[in-house]
Amino acid sequence: DTAVSQTPKYLVTQMGNDKSIKCEQNLGHDTMYWYKQDSKKFLKIMFSYNNKELIINETVPNRFSPKSPDKAHLNLHINSLELGDSAVYFCASSHRGSYNEQFFGPGTRLTVL
Amino acid sequence: AQKITQTQPGMFVQEKEAVTLDCTYDTSDPSYGLFWYKQPSSGEMIFLIYQGSYDQQNATEGRYSLNFQKARKSANLVISASQLGDSAMYFCAMREIGGGADGLTFGKGTHLIIQP
């Protein structure tokens, strides 16, 4: 059973388009996250979200928005894609406020042309 | 200022030797967790080991151990008897239970290559 899954694995699109990446976890965790890994492999938190609270990293443009239909899903919607958005996006989940590890999805490689 | 510093961008090690990957951190939060993740060339993020700020003993998981020196704010990963399959990027990360996005803050990573 896949613990954290993401679709699609690869996403190639034109500048200016709007796209979404889906994430699902079957671990019963209450908190989900989105991370961005740039071309230099640097990973940075974008959002954390549970059913009560969305916490946004202040450096994330408002073109990025997380959408959660239920506790097991956290989708990432990106408006007006830019070249600099090209990266690998990882979804992760864990229990909020605990020391437990975060489980990561396989990542989505986004390429903006 | 960087919260997680990994000073070794790349390392070459002979198979079967022990490896130490350096990590120093900076936080004023008394409660925090330190993590190591492995990212092979296939891209997935694999959790290796965790150390809590209040843990008295160094964490161990199979061939992985974490050399936690709280006063020095260091959390080095030690891999014993390295194997070819250990070749990967290794990331040190910290979770501060108390603020921000409640996510992990990552270092820039160390690219480890195990040579036969």
Our CA-based measurement puts residue B75 at a distance from the nearest CA of chain A, in whole angstroms, of 16
Looking at residue B101, its pLDDT comes to 52
- State whether B108 and A41 contact (CB < 8 Å): yes
Structure tokens given for B83: 């194997």
Predicted pLDDT at B96: 84
Low-confidence ranges of chain A (pLDDT < 70): 1, 51-52, 97-99
pLDDT of residue A75: 94
A101 touches chain B (CB under 8 A): yes
Q: Who among A31, A107, A109 is closest to B102 (CB)? A: A31
Residue A52, chain B, CB below 8 Å: the answer is no
User: Looking at the partner chain, which of A48, A56, A107 has a beta carbon nearest the beta carbon of B43?
Assistant: A107
Q: What is the reported pLDDT for A54?
A: 82
Q: Which residues contact A80 (CB under 8 A, 6 or more apart)?
A: A16, A17, A18, A63
Q: By percentage, how much of chain B surpasses pLDDT 90?
A: 84
Token pair of B63 as six digits: 């061939």
pLDDT digits (tens, 9 = 90+) for B31-65: 899 999 999 999 999 999 999 999 989 999 999 99
| All residues at 6 or more sequence positions from B38 whose CB lies less than 8 Å from its CB, including other chains | B45, B46, B48, B86, B88, B89, B90, B91
Which positions in chain B touch A44 (Cβ < 8 Å)?
A: 106
What pLDDT is recorded for position B99? 57
Q: Is B44 on the interface with A (CB under 8 A)?
A: yes
Q: Which tens digit of pLDDT belongs to each residue from B9-32?
A: 999 999 999 999 999 999 988 889
CB contact under 8 A, B45 and A44: no
- CB-based contact A111:A14 (threshold 8 Å): no
Residues of B in contact with A102 (CB under 8 A): 35, 47, 95, 103-104
> What's the pLDDT at B97?
73
Q: Hey, are the CB atoms on B101 and A33 less than 8 Å from each other?
A: yes
3-state helix, strand, coil in chain B (%, to 5): 5, 50, 45
B52 in contact with chain A, both atoms CB, cutoff 8 A: yes
* Model pLDDT for residues B85-99, shown as the tens digit of each residue: 999 999 999 988 765
Flag if A55 and B102 touch (Cβ within 8 Å): yes
Rg of chain A in Å (alpha carbons): 13
Residues 6+ positions from A107 with CB-CB distance below 8 Å: A6, A9, A37, A88, A89, A90, B43, B44, B45
**A13 token code pair:** 């699109």
